[in-house]
Amino acid sequence: MKNILITGGAGFIGSNVARKLLEKGYNVTVLDCLSPQIHGDHPEQDSPLYLSIKDKVHFIKGSVTNRQDWEQALKDQDAIIHLAAETGTGQSMYEIEKYTETNIGGTALMLDLLTNTKHNIKKVVVAASRAIYGEGRYLSKELGYVYPLSRTEEYMSKGDFECKYEGCTEPLELVATTEDSKIHPTSVYGITKQVQEQLVMTVCPTIGIAPVAFRYQNVYGPGQSLSNPYTGILSIFSTRIKNGNAINIFEDGKESRDFVYIDDVAEATVLGLEKEQANGEVFNVGTGIATDVLTVARTLIAKYNKEVPLTVSGNYRLGDIRHNYADITKARKLLDFEPQWTFDQGIAEFTRWVDGQEVQEDRYEASIEEMKQKGLYK
């Protein structure tokens, strides 16, 4: 396979994967709509992500929801890395049609064309998400492994943010989430990523195409959008700090995520493309380490050496999960994948990059106001 199509290839993950493939001698085609939410109002002039691949790939400005754009992009391709998606968890709860049309509709259109037209596609790698799990995996002394459902407003409004499970009287112990853990997304975004994965993993084998799915954890690093207020806690906090604005930590600050550096994500994705052992498999991509949000905020403030007010407010968003971090045993075994970047190393590199960027307009408050109006922010 030499000719690779990357949908969303001008995005954060996509552009990094594209550059890695180019270094390895692949021919790369990118299909991307250059969304203003990610790339700004003048992406062809100002977007660092787009400019990093400009004139290096065959670029098609188009949408995965458009049949003609797909037909053009699929010509002479050997494999697809399908990354194009709307990605804001909170935003997905009120932009439901938009998220469903792009994430599910775009994937369905791809598979319809692969099923009913002539092409040379041999493999499809699809970007799923840790969001499909909803809450992570927990261990109960009474019941063994359990998978809590969404936290209720009844408890959260009283400042009780920990997960509950019926029949458990003692606190639950957080453990790593494995690929065979229960799938029960708590957001529209999570649902759409689940369906994307299921569509690809179900349809592709029936038409002789090898599918691979990656459930990415919280991806960060140089190049991620600093102007998008809907996704990427490190970029949101960084833009707040750079503007001298206060940081409001939701809940009690102890909620945690698995932060994985972009270079490791790109490496895992290419391994999935190249290795036959990946065919038909689903993989977690993370570090296997949980880091809480308060630690993230304090680390960023220290790295930027800029004091801003830091408040642990007890505010919360309905649909947010409490914890989730990945078990990456399977990726280690089948892909020989091993994260190379620790959180401290990655944050240092990320903040150095941010320090070299123009300070972006902080649109976070406007995004919070949107959620308030929809009754999703408390």
Side chain identity, residue 324? N
In this predicted structure, what is the pLDDT of residue 31? 98
In this predicted structure, what is the pLDDT of residue 50? 93
How many angstroms separate the CA atoms of 334 and 332, rounded?
6
Condensed to tens digits (0 to 9), the pLDDT of residues 22-39 reads 999 999 999 999 998 888
Tokens of 5: 């199509």
How many angstroms separate the CA atoms of 201 and 123, rounded?
11
364 counts as catalytic: no
Condensed to tens digits (0 to 9), the pLDDT of residues 180-204 reads 999 999 899 999 999 999 999 999 9
SS3 48: helix
In this predicted structure, what is the pLDDT of residue 258? 98
Contact yes or no for 253/312 (Cβ under 8 A): yes
CA distances from 36 to 13, 90, 219, 233 (A): 17, 18, 20, 19
Low-confidence ranges of the chain (pLDDT < 70): none
Annotated catalytic residue: which of 26, 189, 220, 230? Answer: 189
For domain 3-373, which architecture applies?
Answer: 3-Layer(aba) Sandwich (3.40)
In this predicted structure, what is the pLDDT of residue 19? 98
**b/e per residue, 331-366, with b = 16+ CB within 10 A?**
beebbebebebebeebbebbbebbeeeeebebebee
Q: Which helix (H) or strand (E) holds 372?
A: helix 364-373
Taking the alpha carbons at both ends of the chain, their separation in whole angstroms is 50
Condensed to tens digits (0 to 9), the pLDDT of residues 133-160 reads 999 999 999 999 999 988 999 999 999 9
Contact yes or no for 199/108 (Cβ under 8 A): yes
At 327, phi and psi to the nearest 5? -90, 120
Domain range summary for the chain, segments of one domain joined by +? 3-373
Tokens of 176: 């790593």
In this predicted structure, what is the pLDDT of residue 334? 98
In this predicted structure, what is the pLDDT of residue 289? 97
Side chain identity, residue 273? L
How many angstroms separate the CA atoms of 191 and 131, rounded?
8
In this predicted structure, what is the pLDDT of residue 42? 87
Of 56, 20, 49, 19, which is closest to residue 32 (Cα–Cα)?
49
Average pLDDT of the chain is: 95
